[in-house]
A and B are shown apart, each in its own frame.
Chain A
Amino acid sequence: MTVKELTELIGAKDMTPDAPKDAEVTCGYTCDLLSWVMAHGASGMAWVTVQTHMNVIAVASLMEMAAVIIPEGIEMEAPSLQKAQDEEINVLQSDKTAYEICALLAQAGLPGKKREA
């Protein structure tokens, strides 16, 4: 699934038009504890979080994620969005809850993160 397809699937608003829409989404994940995401994130991940500060983009960028999805119509701060554009990280905003977004991703066949041994 590409980021473009993901955006259409969950009916999200694309907050970073300059980020690559053909990037491949490999798995889905939701967590708001950044420390936890640093230990469990993966490249190509679509990460659902209510956190909107700059460090979210730093984590997504360093882990080479495909997209950050902000649920429930929450607005991401402008400096974070600017950083996302600079780092070419897709940020999608959705009115749906994290639960509803993950359910849609799962229904579309997107796996969860592979568990490492």
Chain B
Amino acid sequence: MAILLERSFPVAAGAYTTAGEASTTIKRTLKQLGVNTEVLRHVSVACYEVELNLVIHSLGGTLTLLVDPEKVTLISKDVGPGIPDIEKAMTEGFSTANEEARTLGFGAGMGLPNMKRNATGFDIQSEMGVGTTITMTFALA
């Protein structure tokens, strides 16, 4: 499938004050492309959740946006530390967020389930000491 657009955004670990900047830019970009409001909302929510996860849990990573005529794809790839038990991490209410994140009102254990709920396709791969890759697709039609 022909890629219409590809953009990558680095996301730094622990960058709480700037969390959401990549998601806001992605939302703006998709809006300019004429993506409908409903799809835009799903992408925005899932994108912000995954960006927050990079800030809260990872050692840093990259968020990549791909657009083709049929779908929007978001790929979050980090450099570690990896998720020891993905099934547990996918459980609503389970969180390993630190005190700083919790003080800001995050860490309710809603992130991964909320991403899955908003995306058409959701895939998570993780290896301890290597990193985690989350791939989400959102159908445009």
Is A62's CB within 8 Å of the partner chain B?
Answer: yes
Write the nearest CB–CB distance from B20 to chain A, whole angstroms.
3
* Count of inter-chain pairs, beta carbons less than 8 A: 66
Which one, B69-77, B109-117, B129-137, is touching chain A? B109-117
CA–CA, A79 and B106, complex, Å: 20
Interface size counted on chain B using CB atoms at 8 A: 25
Chain A interface mostly: helix
Residues of A near B111 (CB, < 8 A) are 35, 38
Residues of A near B117 (CB, < 8 A) are 39
Contact of B105 among A34, A39, A62, A87 (CB under 8 A): A34
Residues of B near A59 (CB, < 8 A) are 20, 48
Complex contact B24–A58 (CB within 8 A): yes
Is A54's CB within 8 Å of the partner chain B?
Answer: yes
Complex contact A53–B41 (CB within 8 A): no
CA–CA, A60 and B111, complex, Å: 16
Residues of B near A51 (CB, < 8 A) are 104-105
Complex contact A63–B20 (CB within 8 A): no
